[in-house]
Each structure stands twice: as C-alpha cells, then as structure tokens.
C-alpha cells in the first residue's frame, strides 16, 4: 500500500513576522490551515509538523497533527534548506523503526488556502507517474525570464547570452515560452528522490493551479482574509469551525 504523509514545516521564529506560523488568519493560527487540508485529504495517511518550537508543537497537536520530535536548531535557521528537514524526518523514521513514506506532501503554512480536491488530484498525478521524481504546483506568470536583466557595472545584460536571436529581450511576449511560478499550494516529494540527496530531482511534474495567496508580510494576512470568503475554501473553513470553534 502506498504511504503518503503530509509534512508541515513550521519554524518558531520568522525573519519577516514574529511567530508568523502562530499569527491568526481569521480565527485560527496560520499553520492550522495546512494541518486541516491534510486531514481532509482522502490520500494522506498522516500529518507531521516539523518544528523547532515547543509552542508550535503544542498548537499543532491541538489541531490533530503529529509532532514526533523537535527539529534541531542547526537545521532551523534562516539559511536552512527544505532538503535538510526532509532528510531529518526520514532519518528519524529509520532510526525509530517507523514506516518510511513513499511520498511526502510538502504543505507550507505560508500558503494556507487550498482546494482539497485539487490537492488530491495533484497527489494522484504523481502516484500515477512513477518515473517522476517530484511534483510542484505552479501558476502561469506574465513575466518571461527572457525579459529580465541583471547588471554588469552600469550596463544591463540579459540572462540568455547564447540566444541566437538579436535582442531577444525585445521580442513580443507571444514568441517567448510560457513561464510558471511555484505557488506552494501542493508540492509532493518522494523518499527515493530525497535519498539521492536532492529535493525535487530532474523529472519534476508541473501541476497548474489558480493563484493562491502567500503569506510573507503582515499585509499579506489582509489579502488572505479576503480569499477566505471564496467558496473554493469552504470545506477547509468548515472543518476548522466544526472541530476547533
């Protein structure tokens, strides 16, 4: 049987907002929405919060997540990578003779609003594509990388110096490739990929979704409050209202 575990990473401290993962969005702390989404999934068998803070651990358990350890401080810094906490979780499973998941659904608290059916469809997509090394949800963006520049001294330089087209950066947008931005709504990684010391690997499925708000700064909470009224997210809110009023 395929084992699928949700991993919700939630550090105690945040550089942009103090205790961001515990700040209220509506009536519930930010991280509660990712836990609730995992609980509503028909495919996820367990939701694990990886955190370095006892306060976050206590709140997470209150919303039904498992917190089997406190993450070491050395992999909970601003410069720490996602790969490190996934490797730490897999090492914990193996050291304590716990089942190692086949897939881990990476649910960032900073993308709190998810459609459950979209999330499950994305998970099923990678399960049905065994050659894929990971999946990331993405949103079509209007900014093509060919239109961007960096500075060399006082001069602008394009990022594609080997492009044979003269002044490719002046081409109409329609002649440039579509560009997709990861949106954090649902990413899925495989334990076998993590064991290769990479997070996503070289066969990363792209799963296109609509825009969802991300929480990086205090003003983003206000934008997300507006999206709470969207009927797409009603099951998420209903779960929280019914069980954690």
We report the CATH number of the domain holding residue 39 as 3.90.550.10
pLDDT at 44: 98
pLDDT at 202: 95
Identify the CA nearest to 244 among candidates 41, 57, 24, 6.
Answer: 24
Instruction: Tell me the two tokens of residue 186.
Output: 């649902």
Instruction: Answer whether residue 147 is part of any domain.
Output: no
Instruction: Tell me the two tokens of residue 174.
Output: 């329609």
Instruction: Answer whether residue 149 is part of any domain.
Output: no
pLDDT digits (tens, 9 = 90+) for 159-178: 999 999 999 999 998 899 99
Could you tell me the pTM of the whole model? 0.93
Instruction: Answer whether residue 156 is part of any domain.
Output: no
Instruction: Answer whether residue 82 is part of any domain.
Output: yes
CA distance 139 to 149: 22
- pLDDT band, residue 152 (cuts 50/70/90): very high
Domain ranges, residue 237:
4-138+182-244
Domains identified in the chain, total number: 1
pLDDT digits (tens, 9 = 90+) for 198-230: 999 999 999 999 988 899 888 999 889 999 999
Instruction: Answer whether residue 159 is part of any domain.
Output: no
Instruction: Answer whether residue 215 is part of any domain.
Output: yes
Instruction: Answer whether residue 73 is part of any domain.
Output: yes
Average pLDDT over residues 10-30: 89
CA distance 63 to 36: 8
Give the strands of the sheet with 179-190, arranged side by side: 46-50, 4-9, 103-106, 179-190, 134-141, 204-208
Instruction: Answer whether residue 173 is part of any domain.
Output: no
């Amino acid at each position: 049987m395929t084992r699928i575990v949700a991993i919700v990473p939630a550090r105690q401290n945040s550089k942009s907002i103090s205790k961001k993962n515990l700040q209220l969005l509506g009536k519930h702390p930010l991280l509660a929405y990712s836990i609730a989404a995992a609980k509503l999934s028909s495919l996820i068998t367990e939701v694990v919060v990886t955190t370095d803070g006892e306060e976050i651990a206590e709140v997470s358990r209150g919303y039904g997540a498992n917190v089997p350890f406190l993450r070491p401080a050395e992999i909970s810094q601003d410069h720490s990578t996602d790969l490190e906490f996934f490797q730490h979780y897999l090492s914990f499973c193996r050291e304590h003779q716990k089942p190692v998941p086949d897939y881990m659904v990476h649910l960032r608290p900073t993308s709190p609003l998810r459609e459950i059916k979209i999330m499950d469809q994305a998970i099923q997509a990678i399960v049905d594509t065994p050659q894929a090394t990971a999946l990331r949800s993405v949103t079509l963006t209007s900014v093509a990388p060919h239109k961007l520049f960096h500075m060399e001294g006082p001069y602008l330089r394009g990022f594609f110096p080997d492009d044979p087209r003269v002044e490719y950066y002046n081409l109409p947008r329609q002649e440039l490739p579509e560009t997709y931005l990861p949106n954090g709504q649902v990413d899925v990684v495989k334990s076998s990929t993590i064991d290769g010391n990479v997070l996503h690997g070289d066969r990363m499925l792209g799963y296109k979704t609509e825009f969802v708000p991300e929480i990086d700064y205090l003003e983003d909470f206000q934008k997300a409050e507006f999206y709470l009224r969207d009927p797409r997210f009603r099951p998420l809110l209903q779960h929280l209202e019914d069980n954690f009023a």
